[in-house]
Structure 1
């Protein structure tokens, strides 16, 4: 992958949270009690994950987000500052607590319950307040852990400012035709395609969005349609894969490669490489690599 000499300017608009991870032997079913072997807390939120990932990969990154006026919020802000993310528009919400995600992790996979809290107070007014940052951005990134109307407004703002904008369509929910049409790229989980696009035919969805829709599946694989044929790239972890945050890691790596002028295939490969390194550690942020990791 080639790197230009210019540091990209990225603005991430999205969630910040704390992930509380319960390790269990199985995912409990309704009315069932299981014992957890451990409880760990990690910094997370798809917006914060992408902000930190792109900062570590050499971008000048700003985050537009909300946290509560509580110890979790202070922890999030301190960590973002330490990661050299501009937090000028991470707002301390007086009405809601910092968002949390409760993750039950077992050999069966992860079951995740998200409490949006302050993240769902992120509004169009916050987007307007951050417009001077958006105007300077080479790319805007967002996800779906903030209100749907805020995402819609952000896309209208990006279009008005003639800015590139990418979206990781997770957690899966329907996105509008306007978002699909204007997005520079869309990353989605294969299991969410029907929900996100409202169409049951996965291949048709992918072929309708050539070089725009990148579908994540399995431990670390990505597929897309290049206008002529389907492309598949897979990079399996050599050790146990920790799947939290891999979509954010891929999206961030893809974005960095794109802003350095690489062809789509190289962007996908680099996104997979970033996600591969992130899979080595539990939690969404700890394993996120630095640009120097790839230069070496």
Structure 2
């Protein structure tokens, strides 16, 4: 039986429009298309881990609206255990996303029910965490809940992954000792470390700072430039597979879910990084968040062009 990944985090309905370019302040553009797509960093990472071979449980909250039913249904369709996805009164989380012709996007998130994922709500499903091999958290739910989940994962001896997204400021210092793998992108690494990440050298400086703060290991995802791994002893740069990007939404989530699934399956961290990178590369060749996430068979069949 495959190993267990537990994701504690957000579920959002993505309201996605495509436009020739991103609007400027005060500007109105005519969009090309509109769609509603199940998303949220937590749910996306859960779907990625499930499609890429892991048994997955999700801990989170949805609202008592039609979006909540759809978000839960999308996870159940992936055979994800949803016993710990609670329904709370009010609206589900939503993300308003604009994607331009260069496949870049801007996102505004309204947390909705995600704001109700409290430490007490997490503790109600402690048995789910106890059954995990790998625990994943992000920052689209209350900070106090994230910190609580990280520490509980450490207490139970789980492999703890934090994808600090979205991040606009440093993390609480006492979180770092609970994190085995900290996985920010360039802007997140900049916000957390105080080092402006715009090159491989600056990424190394940021990773060094984050390890000095107490993170076990750091993987900075660099988009088309691949990713940088650091463990306090060495750095390793992993170039990204070359593909034609259509939509970068959920690429980072796909990497995190794939990395976690590979670790849970017994791969070493180098193999897991490469596996996650292929999964992320395949995701950007497709539109949408969860619809873009590849299956295990897609990754296994991938050949560099």
TM-score (normalizing by structure 1): 0.91
**Maintained 8 Å contact 1:219/1:241:** no
**Maintained 8 Å contact 2:275/2:299:** no
**Residue range with higher mean Cα deviation, 118-127 or 257-266:** 257-266
Distance in 1 separating the partners of 2:73 and 2:3? 23
1:178 matched residue in structure 2:
174
**Maintained 8 Å contact 1:124/1:150:** yes
Deviation at 1:136, TM superposition (A): 1.0
2:66 matched residue in structure 1:
71
**Structure 1 unaligned spans of 5+:** 1-5
Deviation at 1:155, TM superposition (A): 1.5
**Maintained 8 Å contact 2:241/2:277:** no
1:205 matched residue in structure 2:
206
2:226 matched residue in structure 1:
221
Distance in 2 separating the partners of 1:9 and 1:157? 16
Distance in 1 separating the partners of 2:19 and 2:295? 31
Distance in 2 separating the partners of 1:261 and 1:178? 29
2:199 matched residue in structure 1:
none
Deviation at 1:219, TM superposition (A): 3.2
CA offsets per residue over residues 44-65 of structure 1, 9 Å max, x none?
A: 0011111111111221111011
**Maintained 8 Å contact 2:61/2:87:** yes
Deviation at 1:162, TM superposition (A): 2.4
**Maintained 8 Å contact 2:259/2:273:** yes
Distance in 2 separating the partners of 1:238 and 1:273? 10
**Residue range with higher mean Cα deviation, 236-245 or 99-108:** 236-245
Deviation at 1:198, TM superposition (A): 4.0
TM-score (normalizing by structure 2): 0.89
**Maintained 8 Å contact 2:93/2:114:** yes
2:251 matched residue in structure 1:
246
Aligned pair in 2 of structure 1 residues 134, 226: CA closer, same or farther (>3 Å)? closer
Match of 2:292 among 270, 281, 287: 287
**Superposed CA RMSD:** 1.9
**Maintained 8 Å contact 1:211/1:224:** no
**Maintained 8 Å contact 2:204/2:235:** no
**Maintained 8 Å contact 2:258/2:272:** yes
Is residue 268 from structure 1 mapped to residue 273 from structure 2 by the alignment?
A: yes
**Maintained 8 Å contact 1:18/1:100:** yes
2:97 matched residue in structure 1:
103
**Structure 2 unaligned spans of 5+:** 197-201
Query: Larger strand proportion, structure 1 or 2?
Result: 1
Match of 1:149 among 139, 144, 147: 144
Question: What secondary structure does 1:27 align onto?
Answer: coil
Aligned pair in 2 of structure 1 residues 34, 295: CA closer, same or farther (>3 Å)? closer
